[in-house]
Amino acid sequence: MSNDADVIVVGAGLAGLVAATELADAGKRVIVVDQEGEQNLGGQAFWSLGGLFLVDTPEQRRLGIKDSHDLALQDWMGTAGFDREEDHWPKKWAEAYVAFAAGEKRGWLQAMGHRLFPVVGWAERGGYDAMGHGNSVPRFHITWGTGPGVVEPFERRAREHAKAGRITFKFRHRVDALDMTNGAATGVSGKLLEPSSEARGESSSRVETGDFSLKAQAVIVASGGIGGNHDLVRQNWPKRLGAPPKFMVAGVPAHVDGRMIGITEAAGARLINRDRMWHYVEGVRNWAPIWPGHGIRILPGPSSMWFDATGKRLPSPLYPGYDTLGQLEYIMRTGYDYSWFILTQSIIKKEFGLSGSEQNPDLTGKSWRQVIRRAGAKGGPEPVEAFKNKGADFIVRDNLEDLVAAMNKLGGTSLLDPAFIRMQIEARDREIDNPYVKDSQVMGIHNARRYIGDKLIRTAKPHKILDPAHGPLIAVKLNILTRKTLGGFETDLDSRVFGNDGNIIPGLYAVGEAAGFGGGGVHGYRALEGTFLGGCLFSGRNAGRAAAKAVL
């Protein structure tokens, strides 16, 4: 039987688009299948903030940041904590990826028209020693245009190739099986789904209208992770984190269902590090949800005080924006699956960001006018103020006793003792009078403000939480939010998938989140942030280029 294309790509998210465009650039014929409709082209990347991990860039240098490949590699390895035999390929991917982020990545994107917002963010600050977790310096480069701005160059290239007949998109094609011939991947088959008119990101119908089967010399699995399937998240929940949360909000659309991971595994592919996941602890219920259980992650600056469900302040260095996995571990040990921020209006105004393209209309719309208005506004950014006023997890009060009473009501318990909370806040507030202090969170605030980017737009001037001049007081109930799958299919640097027998499966490639962003888990246990889109770009590119050479 003749082939329908040279290569089939399963998934029209960022990783699939990158692989497909690289193949088409090399003159190959590609079919891209996706279970969703055309309106979802770009997958999760469209919804993303477009934050990219880049090293030693002109943007960093302009802000006085001295970064280097060696510093970034030190941070990556301290963060990943690779400690398993199966980390062989993930570690190789990590080395190659850091070299990409410190080398070709920025120029390659720029040549396609991609641009960056000039202020570099400082995510995952760690707070341990030099060889421990975290970014030693700010490296989170936000795309001008956020997620859609990351997708745009690849969508444009893919549509040009589609016009020329090199790429064919087949939407509403749900793959149910990888077809294997003599141990090699030679195609996919599955069901046609009825056309969907739902808006991007909304759940679509699963009503089947027929069968399909497609043949090619190679198949690239670019189907994303498992974050939209909470049953799978709970099933893979690592024992070291105790019991999985009872309640979680969804940081990804329902199409991130993990089905294709099971299908690829059933065909003999080796899935590694499935217990490594990157979920956030600052999730709030979206007052205007797009997908089921839609949660938004707060991107917090360093000043909010963080309390567990019993009212105890989180220990050093578990401060906002420092160590996501450490915070998750701590919170799950409390026996409750939520925690609290207490902050002031001055802090929310300067320090709260919300992750997601739709929550940042100024950056997504590439509007300098709106960006400047955001910085100068009396309140917080409009989307943040909307959450403050309408979000189910936000409480605003003029005094602490009323605030804590409302927190107890929202938590449905009487766990929070207002006197105990007051004692901890007053103790912290006494540390504000001197620029040199004992409290390591306050120290961190002073440290942050020595970086011009944080001082300008990300870290409020140190002040007492209980100073009414900075009020009203705000409490936010923080839920666990599912997002990224750090494990995935074990691949070599060409994104070729290993089988359970340790040999490469001919014709099978895996990229993006399905491949743990490269190798089956390029991040190890933790991430430095902005590394997921980058992992899709790098693994998609490697697969596309390698497959183009491999097919005849």
Least spacing, CB of residue 15 vs ligand FAD, in Å:
4
To which H or E segment does residue 297 belong?
strand 295-299
Q: Beta 504-510 vs 218-221: how paired, if at all? A: parallel
Least spacing, CB of residue 258 vs ligand FAD, in Å:
8
* Residue (512 or 520) nearer to ligand FAD, CB: 512
* Residue (280 or 306) nearer to ligand FAD, CB: 280
**Cis peptide upstream of residue 195 (ω within 30 degrees of 0):** no
CA pair distance 486, 513, nearest whole angstrom: 7
* Residue (101 or 465) nearer to ligand FAD, CB: 101
Least spacing, CB of residue 550 vs ligand FAD, in Å:
21
* Residue (15 or 522) nearer to ligand FAD, CB: 15
Nearest alpha-carbon partner for 542 in 7, 160, 93, 178: 93
Least spacing, CB of residue 178 vs ligand FAD, in Å:
10
Least spacing, CB of residue 95 vs ligand FAD, in Å:
19
DSSP annotation of 245: P
Contact, 536 vs 18, CB < 8 A?
A: yes
Least spacing, CB of residue 543 vs ligand FAD, in Å:
11
Can you list the alpha helix ranges (DSSP code H) found in 238-381?
Answer: 259-266, 324-333, 345-351, 361-364, 368-376
CA pair distance 192, 244, nearest whole angstrom: 35
* Residue (44 or 459) nearer to ligand FAD, CB: 44
Contact, 64 vs 56, CB < 8 A?
A: no
Burial class, 220, CB count within 10 angstroms (exposed 0-12 / middle 13-18 / buried 19+)? buried
Q: Beta 30-34 vs 51-53: how paired, if at all? A: unpaired
Contact, 23 vs 547, CB < 8 A?
A: yes
Least spacing, CB of residue 297 vs ligand FAD, in Å:
7
* Residue (14 or 404) nearer to ligand FAD, CB: 14
Which string of b and e fits 182-214 if b means at least 16 CB within 10 Å? eeebbbbebbbbeebeeebbbebeeeeeeebeb
Contact, 294 vs 250, CB < 8 A?
A: yes
Least spacing, CB of residue 472 vs ligand FAD, in Å:
29
Least spacing, CB of residue 62 vs ligand FAD, in Å:
21
Residue 251 pairs in a beta bridge with: none
Which conformational region is residue 325 in: left (phi greater than 0), alpha (psi within -120 to 50 degrees), or beta?
alpha
Under 8 Å CB-to-CB from 463, ≥6 apart: which residues?
A: 344, 346, 432, 469, 470
* Residue (299 or 314) nearer to ligand FAD, CB: 299
CA pair distance 405, 411, nearest whole angstrom: 10
Contact, 286 vs 295, CB < 8 A?
A: yes
* Residue (123 or 347) nearer to ligand FAD, CB: 123
CA pair distance 221, 262, nearest whole angstrom: 12
Least spacing, CB of residue 343 vs ligand FAD, in Å:
22
Contacts with ligand FAD by CB under 6 A lie at: 10-16, 33-36, 40, 43-45, 47-51, 174-175, 222-224, 251-252, 255-256, 259-260, 355-356, 484, 512-513, 530-534, 536
* Residue (52 or 425) nearer to ligand FAD, CB: 52
Least spacing, CB of residue 8 vs ligand FAD, in Å:
10
Angle formed at CA 488 by CA 484 and CA 490, multiple of 5 degrees: 150
* Residue (31 or 342) nearer to ligand FAD, CB: 31
CA pair distance 176, 93, nearest whole angstrom: 29
